[in-house]
A and B are shown apart, each in its own frame.
Chain A
Amino acid sequence: MIRVLYFASLRDRLGRADETLSERPATVAELRAALVARGGIWGDVFADGQRVLAAVNQEMASAEQVLNEGDEVGFFPPVTGG
């Protein structure tokens, strides 16, 4: 099981702030591919070439990062603070 959170413009476009997935993809890249496979807006938001950043357990993560049981994955657009 993993927890997935969506922030800012991603959350608005997807119409969802968070969800729990019972199936655990092996990596961030595999999770992203599973989201693209939902089709519709999910395919648009997470398509290759779209700049989506990922964090695993609240730290910036690469596409290759391995996911473990109970991990929290956050997806968001490039940040605009400061």
Chain B
Amino acid sequence: MDVEIRVQDTPLDALAETAPVFAGRPSVGGVVSFIGLMRDINHGDAVNSMTLEHYPGMTEKALAAIVDEAGRRWDLQGVRVLHRVGEIRPQDPIVLVAVASAHRGEAFRACEFIIDYLKTRAPFWKREQTADGGTRWVEARASDEHAAAGWGEP
């Protein structure tokens, strides 16, 4: 399994970054990718921009552990997890999870598993700048905890 994990403070070209997960690997039969985008509204308020912070060092370790776990559960050829930090605007990609496998089923399941675990275990935090000029930290969602719990403990 070929793995690339990257945390970057520059724009993420999610479509271009998906291709390397299968390019030059003729045994790959399917690629599933998830692109998380910034929305312009949250809890009914217009959001102008967002700043993503992380725990350098721990973030990379946490993402590597999540991808390792996916590799134990499913037969995967390649995984790319790329995540933005810094200031982003609506429509900007926040995260790309791209998974390549011989067959679609494993790629679909592994991609969903990785994003579900990332949302509850990787140390990133979002702070929103709202249209009225205020800033606020985004609260964790119980639905994300439930989604991750649905995969069971590693």
Contact = CB atoms under 8 A, between A and B. Distances in A.
Interface of A: 5, 7-9, 12, 51, 55, 58-60, 74, 76-82
Given A76-B55, A82-B36, A55 B123 contact: yes
Contacts of A77: 125, 137, 140
Q: Is the interface of B mostly helix, strand, loop or mixed?
A: mixed
A74 B120 CA distance: 16
Interface of B: 36, 52-55, 57-58, 61-62, 83, 94-95, 115, 118-127, 137-140
28 contacts: A5-B55, A7-B53, A7-B55, A8-B125, A8-B127, A8-B137, A9-B125, A51-B140, A55-B55, A58-B58, A59-B62, A60-B62, A74-B55, A74-B58, A76-B125, A77-B140, A78-B120, A79-B125, A80-B119, A80-B125, A80-B126, A80-B137, A81-B122, A81-B123, A82-B36, A82-B115, A82-B122, A82-B124
A55 B122 CA distance: 11
